[in-house]
Amino acid sequence: MTHRAGPPPPGRRRPDLRHWLKPRSSQTLVLGICMSVGGLAGGARGVMDGRGMCTTLATLGAGVLGVLIVVSYFVNLEDR
């Protein structure tokens, strides 16, 4: 069988799932900044107030996720 140049025939491609993991819009950047500031500040406040462990860890987790979104936005921006 010989190989043809050009794109594969329609219907034979699988969608690239990494496309959904790359934040591209500035709205995603704003969401990440809000999540990181609110999550990290809320988690620190929860530790100081002595709230429950699950609530504090969930809030800190949202903050860490926000930081990851912001970092991935700038890494993706650099790649473009």
pLDDT for position 11: 67
E-strand stretches of the chain = none
What confidence score (pLDDT) does residue 6 get? 75
Amino acid 58 reads A
Give the model's pLDDT for residue 21.
Answer: 67
- For the chain, residues with pLDDT lower than 50 are none
CA–CA distance, 66 with 59 (Å, rounded to integer): 11
pLDDT score, position 30: 93
